[in-house]
Amino acid sequence: MTIIHAQLFDKGALLPRSEFEQLVELARKSEDVEVHLQEDDTPTQSIMRLAEQGGAFDFWREEGEDIYSAEDGEPI
């Protein structure tokens, strides 16, 4: 038996749910498959919208001097 653990996300998933279901059905033709689905508790799009509307990152949009320059070197 094969057990598949999958987490469902808001829009922008790596694999559309319909394609995932097709793959599971194809696998079930050759062996028993058990699927464990976990819903995403915090939808990605909603969190992104909240962060944009909250204004916590507005300083990145402000004109002015860059925080980093070419002289700062490579990231660690």
Q: In terms of pLDDT, which residue wins out, 15 or 43?
A: 15
Q: In terms of pLDDT, which residue wins out, 60 or 10?
A: 60
Given pLDDT bands bounded at 50, 70 and 90, which one contains residue 3?
confident
As a whole number of angstroms, the distance between CA 36 and CA 12 comes to 20
Given pLDDT bands bounded at 50, 70 and 90, which one contains residue 32?
very high
CB 12 within 8 A of CB 40: no
Counting residues of the chain whose pLDDT is more than 90, the rounded percentage is 8
Tell me the average pLDDT across 7-28. 79
Taking alpha carbons only, the member of 65, 4, 62, 75 closest to residue 33 is 4
What is the reported pLDDT for 29?
92
Kindly report the pTM of this predicted structure: 0.43
Across the strands, what pairs with 37?
6
Both structure tokens of 47: 């969190």
